[in-house]
Structure 1
């Protein structure tokens, strides 16, 4: 009997706690974007349940400084929302209410920790909070550029390429891929980050490897090299620039180099003969 009584008492306690929680003020959800685009507009959300209480206020803070307050019982029209100026905070009042706060024209100073605080009125006088972090970035506007590569290569030759991406903030992270496989550090060449002004940065990453027969894709005779640029772990802001390199035999490669050298030699000889002829003409011309 005593065991049954203990079980029943336990059920009553649990039921009472559940009822109390259900009837209490509680912030159920907060929505703050982890990342946002420089100059864009975002809407942050704060959902809550009052239980049996009555709403007293909804307050928003950035880095523990209040910038927005909603008061439901203000009698004068258009005065139930109060704002407190803060660096990096520009409010769109037409989209802000007790559950939403709209920030527009985001700057780097808009980054920070945002907190929603909901308070109930008498007789409860409860308060609950939840927070979320925002970072403002300047994302890539252009695809990365691959430079320094020829159109054809033969096994044994060395491919040396550069990938440049930016400007952005933070500086882009660059990765190289050969036939969809990421390239290891031993084949990469690191360069210094370039500052472009206005807190924007560009970055380059070199690629160098010796071509092998296995690099050429079956039935296509192509090598697919790709440059991937990423800003702040945002997949939507990732660009991948492919570049296809065609197979050529060693003989074809040598012939092409011979043609290039022959063309260069012929051009140099032609220029030399022109200079000689001009000199002779000058010498035999009557004074």
Structure 2
């Protein structure tokens, strides 16, 4: 009897606790999560109401609510003023919010909070991070001094990339081998609009030459949305020089028969004169 009573108690308790569990599978996605300044992004919120009806979906930037969807209200949507947040109301609903004209100040945490209707009023929340960037307006450039280069020489080069936020990460490759890379950015540098520069000073050995050739690349990257490169063929004293050829070796060999015909024509011309 005691075991039966314990079993019934656990069964009832299990049902009770299942009813007060928070909402499952509340998932926020930001597309794109790395946004170019002045462009737009779509925040999507998926959730499982567990056979309950929806009471509300609230959207936050940090701790500030900026959009709410409540199906029982009229109108169903409300927009709250938050600095930098521009909601596209016509394209926002119970599962997504579209933001337009996004500026740097919008970077940070976004949250989607879903609540089911009573009597339980179950709630679930998910948070993701959005980054706002400004891409360089032009390609990176390379400057080199001291050409042509040979074994033992010092290769001095500089790569510059136009202003961006954050600064672009620069990488030097010599004949496809990485020879220099930008230092990681500090938190402050992530908030700056500035040029990116990388200097290279490398003593060259036979290892660095590819059949005497030197191809220098500078790759500029930012987050997952920008990758450009500059490529420069450096002057090298080890670069193979094409063999010199005479004018006769390039021309088609004249056969003996053709030469004989030429002599005959010349003799006829002399007789007519």
Q: Same fold (TM over 0.5)?
A: yes
What residue number does 1:166 align with? 162
1:177 aligns with 2:173: yes
Structure 1 stretches of at least 4 aligned residues deviating more than 6 Å after TM superposition = 21-24
What residue number does 1:235 align with? 224
- Structure 2: 5+ residue stretches without partners: 184-188, 242-273
CA distance in 2, matches of 1:180, 1:49: 50
- Cα deviation, residue 199, structure 1: 5.3
What residue number does 2:112 align with? 116
What residue number does 2:213 align with? 222
1:29 aligns with 2:20: no
> Deviation string for 1:74-121 (max 9, x for gaps)?
3x4xx1110001111001112211000001101011112111111111
- Is the contact made by 2:23 and 2:122 (CA closer than 8 Å) also made in structure 1? yes
> Deviation string for 1:5-43 (max 9, x for gaps)?
89xx6xx86xx57x9379963343210244211111000
Taking structure 1 as the reference length, the TM-score comes to: 0.69
Please state whether the residue corresponding to 1:67 is helix, strand or coil. Answer: strand
What residue number does 1:81 align with? 77
Query: Where do 1:1-287 residues align within 5 Å?
Result: 20=18, 25-32=23-30, 33-74=32-73, 76=74, 79-149=75-145, 152-184=148-180, 200-218=193-211, 221-231=212-222, 234-249=223-238
More helix by share: 1
Please state whether the residue corresponding to 2:18 is helix, strand or coil. Answer: helix
CA distance in 1, matches of 2:215, 2:20: 59
CA distance in 2, matches of 1:67, 1:249: 65
- Is the contact made by 2:55 and 2:117 (CA closer than 8 Å) also made in structure 1? yes
- Is the contact made by 2:22 and 2:124 (CA closer than 8 Å) also made in structure 1? no
- Is the contact made by 1:226 and 1:243 (CA closer than 8 Å) also made in structure 2? yes
- Cα deviation, residue 124, structure 1: 1.8
Alignment length (residue pairs): 229
CA distance in 2, matches of 1:50, 1:238: 42
Q: CA-atom RMSD, angstroms?
A: 3.4
- Cα deviation, residue 158, structure 1: 2.4
CA distance in 2, matches of 1:95, 1:137: 24
Larger Rg: 2
Please state whether the residue corresponding to 1:235 is helix, strand or coil. Answer: coil
> Deviation string for 1:240-285 (max 9, x for gaps)?
22222243259x9xxxxxxxxxxxxxxxxxxxxxxxxxxxxxxxxx
> Deviation string for 1:29-88 (max 9, x for gaps)?
2102442111110000000111121111100011111000001123x4xx1110001111
- Structure 1: 5+ residue stretches without partners: 190-194, 253-287
Taking structure 2 as the reference length, the TM-score comes to: 0.72
